[in-house]
Structure 1
């Protein structure tokens, strides 16, 4: 696993690259021991330690609703716990409604992809792991045309892309940034042809040996899904 700090257009970011041939990316919502939502990275970390696993990386997954359930598709260990959500609300209803939204998925053969939600449905492929969020940041090499270059809507932001079928890149900003600049980072600096926004002001990464990066801790609320990479202790 590779993690680094990156400066782009005056903003600082934490970038994590995963080689899926070497690291296993997993997704976690409920503790299998008691059925309760993990809710935060520290609780997931403690659960891993109690099961002989060391948490190497963690990040909150897609957007969720007021009941702390994923707002869109959520697939964990090959099981669809929340179905694909194709409801097209007004953009003012929240980031998930800014079109197109999308899905990040890892498939049974181990490869990863970011697809618009409609393309994911059209593909008709089952996934081992998937989260739906929105909006898409980059679609087939183009920045989402809903974004405004000089928008004053500045938030801590996190996102993900599949740079190649077996290389996944996660990014979280270290200060507030607008959608357009965040999308430019994925396309122009990281070379991603398709990238998906994960979440905003609550987004944090945990990196073993470094600690937490992203939004200030006081802004973090309970998470629904959490991405993780564990190593055996």
Structure 2
């Protein structure tokens, strides 16, 4: 009864009071965690460096760097990076470009073309295939390039194999056509690219989805009592909201 009452209270809250929601799901026998962001309302941002220019690298460092009365209600690694943790591909934060768009071939998963870009603006989040991004040249308040694309205009990446034996923990993002919603997904067990991409296409039904990374995939989801540590990260994406002390 207590749980039902709490759910009813939550559902009765005004829209502005609800932030990103995260839940564990199962697809084809594999466990995944999905965090759903309403881009029209949630303060979705990219993070790389603190005010001194030092790379943040951990969710706890972002929490410490946030202004008073703010908290990180969701976080995830958001793109591949070099040994010094600088972004491999295109990176823009709060209107300032740190790395240009890369359109040619390269090594590793980033170079498994086509790759793509996640573009954020106030009220909108959209995944673009890289050459389409170059052609459309959208203005992005924040942007991060990664690869490969998982889903491209409703189709799986053409190089994904249904019978692949390459399995890793993986994370990525898919967005709706109108850019109003973004779905951030991390697998809780090793999956193939094909399995991971099918979840975005067949369950979330996102027309475009982008791979972020594999072995170093990390999630910060306080509502699930989860905040992954370990590997130091480069670009991180997250939702910032007022802390409980402010909203109560």
> Fold-level match, TM-score > 0.5?
yes
Contact 1:204–1:212, Cα closer than 8 Å, also in 2? no
Higher helix share: 2
Q: Where do 5+ consecutive residues of structure 2 fail to align?
A: 1-19, 244-248
Q: Secondary structure at the match of 1:104?
A: strand
Q: Give matches, 1:36-47, under 5 Å.
A: 36-47=54-65
Q: Secondary structure at the match of 1:209?
A: helix
- Equivalent residue for 1:123? 136
- The answer on 1:212 being equivalent to 2:226 is yes
Q: Where do 5+ consecutive residues of structure 1 fail to align?
A: none
- Equivalent residue for 1:81? 98
In structure 1, C-alpha distance between the alignment counterparts of 2:235 and 2:225, rounded to whole Å: 19
Q: Give matches, 1:1-40, under 5 Å.
A: 1-32=20-51, 34-40=52-58
- Equivalent residue for 2:241? 231
Tell me the CA shift for residue 87 of structure 1: 2.5
Contact 2:186–2:219, Cα closer than 8 Å, also in 1? yes
- The answer on 1:168 being equivalent to 2:182 is yes
Give the one of 195, 201, 205 matched to 1:181.
195
Q: How many residues align?
A: 223
Q: TM-score, normalized by length of structure 1? A: 0.91
Tell me the CA shift for residue 42 of structure 1: 1.6
- Equivalent residue for 1:105? 119
Q: Which runs of 4+ in 1 moved over 4 A?
A: none
Q: Secondary structure at the match of 2:126?
A: strand
Q: TM-score, normalized by length of structure 2? A: 0.86
Tell me the CA shift for residue 102 of structure 1: 0.4
Which has the higher mean CA deviation after the structures are superposed, 144-153 or 203-212?
203-212
Tell me the CA shift for residue 41 of structure 1: 1.1
Tell me the CA shift for residue 79 of structure 1: 1.2
- The answer on 1:62 being equivalent to 2:76 is no
